[in-house]
């Protein structure tokens, strides 16, 4: 009987891909079957995120639960960004944890599993050329890493401390992986990195040269690739060549993540984002001119230290002007090993919550206006999920969720639809 693996994944798409890599690495040694029931598992993996404080606090109570539930002899491993950041402290606080494996040390999983109380958290470790085993949870949509780490030093962000310096994965490895994914049925490729449009800045081997724009062109030439998505690009690196490739390449889905963080130039400066409000608005305007049907999503942090009401208003102004189709908004969370933790003028919790609520109310208002205009629009949808109510759901090129009446023969197909009902999050449509 094969061993059983329970794996819980928090955080970003990169963590989702790391979890797939871990499953593949385990299976290189011996077959593991996935289970949703931790009490059945021989190995419990918790793949953590450390971007905000709350999930980190919750980790230990969760680990305590797994300790109670786990069957005799089962092992517990903590992986991901909190593993990188807390390292051996995790085993000190939760001595029943068998190993700790950092976000940049995924390829050492087998070694950690067989080494009692292993702590593998080297953030200088170079995995950019490592050949991970093959495993994909969704055969239609393939996540493909294009770089590891992040070279930016945004003052609020712990990621450079947990994932280390940025190294691009050689283009030929990415193209080979893309080809393999397509050969096994993928229609959509999702290119992943902390800062994808900085691709090519540094390889382990200095002789190589490439840019994200070039990489997009090469990936789109692969026969059988129908759609390309990527996350996350950085607004600072959205040069004209990149926007032109985005606009003119038919295989690239017309949804762009433009993480704003703040609409105030002063706060952007304190965050070390490297751009101003004007630059951001200029790029968003140019993008909408070049690609009129583009959907723009963003990340916003409210109540960064020193954020005045005027600064906050500047963020709301940018929201009104850009009309983002999707916003992920957060209260600033002070993180260790970041420069912002030393900044004065912290915003009180109650005021931070008030700003977040106000921002989200404006977002709802703006989304309702956008939704009303969407009815009657045509979209192309890749259908992925059979719903229980007689609908089949998928994502449009724009990344919007759309469902139509139908059955499983739609799954895995790309179809044109017309929107009949539009909401803030989901839409109903009819097939054309
Ligand atoms: N380069 C990555 C960033 C990862 S963090 C990407 O663009 O996906 C994802 C988001 O979490 C950031 O864009 C930011 O909005 C938010 N975030 C990061 N650190 C934070 C902090 N200390 N407090 C609140 N939100 C934070
Ligand atoms: Fe974090 Fe900024 Fe990099 S948000 S992941 S340091 S681009």
Residue 128 lies in a domain: no
What pLDDT does 3 receive?
96
Residue nearest to atom 5 of ligand 1 (CA): 51
Q: Please name which of 109, 145, 104, 106 lies closest in space to residue 122, comparing C-alpha atoms.
A: 104
**Ligand 2 centroid, distance to 342 Cα (angstroms):** 18
Residues 105 and 62 in one domain: yes
Per-residue pLDDT, 253: 96
Q: Work out which ligand 1 atom sits closest to the CA atom of 334.
A: 22
Are 389 and 420 in the same domain?
yes
53 alpha carbon – ligand 2 mean position (Å)? 16
Q: Tell me which residues have their CB closer than 6 angstroms to ligand 1.
A: 12, 51-52, 156-157, 159, 194-195, 232, 259, 261, 299, 301, 330, 332-333, 335
Q: Which of 54, 154, 275, 330 to mutate to test the pocket of ligand 1 (most atoms within 8 A of CB)?
A: 330
Question: Which-ligand-closest: CA of 166?
Answer: 2
For residue 344, being part of any structural domain is answered with yes
Q: Is 195 in the pocket of ligand 2 (CB under 6 A)?
A: yes
Which residue out of 50, 104, 149, 154 has the highest number of ligand 2 atoms within 8 Å of its CB and is therefore the one to mutate? 154
CA-closest candidate to residue 34, choices 185, 137, 112, 106: 137
Alpha carbons within 13 angstroms on the beta-carbon side of residue 319 total 27
**Same-domain pairing of 420 and 316:** no
Model pTM above 0.85: yes
159 lines ligand 2 (CB under 6 A): yes
What residues does 385 pair with on adjacent strands?
Answer: 393
In which domain, by residue range, is 426 found?
378-431
The CATH number for 174's domain is 3.30.750.210
Say yes or no: 196 and 227 in one domain.
yes
Please check whether residue 105 is in contact with residue 118, taking contact to mean a CB–CB distance below 8 angstroms.
no
Using a 6 Å cutoff on CB, does residue 233 contact ligand 2? no
Answer with the one of 96, 120, 144 that is the final residue of a domain: 120
Whether the Cβ atoms of residue 203 and residue 167 lie closer than 8 Å to each other: yes
User: Which ligand 1 atom lies nearest to the CA of residue 340?
Assistant: 22
**Which 3-state string (H, E, C) describes 363-378?**
HHHHHHHHHHHHCCCE
* Sequential pLDDT tens for the chain (432 residues): 899 999 999 999 999 999 999 999 999 999 999 999 999 999 999 999 999 998 888 999 999 999 999 999 999 999 999 999 999 999 999 999 999 999 999 999 999 999 999 999 999 999 999 999 999 999 899 999 999 999 999 999 999 999 999 999 999 999 999 999 999 999 999 999 999 999 999 999 887 889 999 999 999 999 999 999 999 999 999 999 999 999 999 999 999 999 999 999 999 999 999 999 999 999 999 999 999 999 999 999 999 999 999 999 999 999 999 999 999 999 999 999 999 999 999 999 999 999 999 999 999 999 999 999 999 999 999 999 999 899 999 999 989 999 999 999 999 999 999 999 999 989 999 999
Q: Is residue 269 part of a domain?
A: no
Q: Is residue 9 part of a domain?
A: yes
417: CATH: 2.40.50.140
**Domain-located, residue 277:** no
Tell me, yes or no, whether 210 lies in a domain.
yes
Give the end of a domain, one of 72, 91, 120. Answer: 120
**Burial of residue 233 (number of CB atoms within 10 Å: 0-12, 13-18, 19+):** buried
In a domain, residue 274? The reply is no
Q: How far is the CA of 387 from the centre of ligand 2 (A)?
A: 36
Residue 160, ligand 2, Cβ within 6 A: yes
Cα torsion angle, 390, 394, 400, 404, sign: negative
- Give domain status of residue 260, yes or no: no
Domain's final residue, options 234, 253, 272:
253
Same domain for 231 and 315? Answer: no
If one counts the domains in the chain, the total is 4
Same domain as 179, residue 81? no
**Contact at 8 Å (CB) between 168 and 214?**
no
The radius of gyration computed from the CA coordinates of the chain, to the nearest angstrom, equals 22
- Beta strands, E only, 10-140: 32-34, 43-48, 75-80, 99-102, 118-120
pLDDT at 1: 82
CATH classification at residue 304: 3.30.750.200
Residues 114 and 7 in one domain: yes
């Amino acid at each position: 009987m094969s061993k059983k693996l329970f794996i819980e994944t928090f955080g970003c798409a990169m963590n989702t891909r790391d979890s797939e890599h871990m499953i593949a690495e385990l299976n290189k040694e011996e077959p593991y079957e996935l289970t949703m029931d931790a009490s059945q598992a021989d190995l419990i993996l918790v793949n953590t995120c450390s971007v905000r404080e709350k999930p980190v606090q919750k980790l230990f109570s969760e680990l305590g639960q797994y300790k109670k539930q786990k069957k005799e002899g089962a092992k517990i491993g903590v992986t991901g960004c909190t593993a990188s950041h807390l390292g051996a402290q995790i085993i000190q606080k939760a001595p029943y944890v068998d190993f700790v494996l950092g976000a940049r040390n995924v390829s050492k999983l087998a070694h950690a599993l067989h080494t009692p109380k292993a702590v593998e958290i080297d953030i200088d470790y170079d995995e950019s050329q490592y050949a991970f085993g093959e495993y994909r949870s969704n055969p239609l949509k393939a996540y493909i890493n294009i770089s590891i780490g992040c070279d930016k030093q945004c003052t609020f962000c712990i990621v450079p401390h947990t994932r280390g310096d940025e190294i691009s994965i050689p283009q030929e490895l990415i193209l080979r992986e893309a080809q393999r994914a397509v050969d096994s049925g993928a229609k959509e490729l999702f290119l992943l990195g902390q800062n994808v449009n900085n691709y090519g800045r540094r390889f382990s081997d200095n002789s190589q040269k490439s840019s994200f724009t070039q990489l997009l062109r090469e990936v789109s030439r692969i026969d059988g690739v129908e759609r390309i998505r990527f996350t996350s690009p950085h607004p600072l690196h959205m040069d004209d060549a990149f926007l032109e490739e985005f606009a003119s390449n038919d295989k690239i889905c017309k949804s762009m993540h433009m993480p704003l963080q703040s609409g105030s130039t002063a706060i952007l400066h304190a965050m070390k984002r490297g751009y101003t409000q004007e630059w951001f608005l200029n790029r968003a305007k140019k993008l909408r001119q070049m690609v009129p049907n583009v959907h723009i999503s963003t990340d916003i942090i409210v109540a960064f230290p020193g954020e005045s009401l005027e600064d906050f208003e500047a963020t709301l102004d940018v929201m009104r002007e850009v009309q983002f189709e999707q916003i992920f908004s957060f209260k600033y969370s002070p993180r260790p090993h970041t420069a912002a933790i030393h900044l004065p003028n912290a915003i009180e919790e109650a005021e931070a919550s008030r700003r977040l609520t106000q921002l989200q109310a404006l977002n709802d208002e703006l989304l309702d206006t956008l939704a009303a205009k969407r009815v009657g629009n045509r979209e192309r949808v890749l259908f992925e999920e059979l719903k229980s109510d007689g609908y089949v759901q998928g994502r449009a090129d724009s990344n919007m969720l759309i469902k139509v009446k139908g059955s499983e023969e739609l799954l895995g197909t790309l179809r044109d639809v017309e929107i009949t009902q539009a909401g803030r999050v989901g839409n109903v449509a009819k097939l054309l």
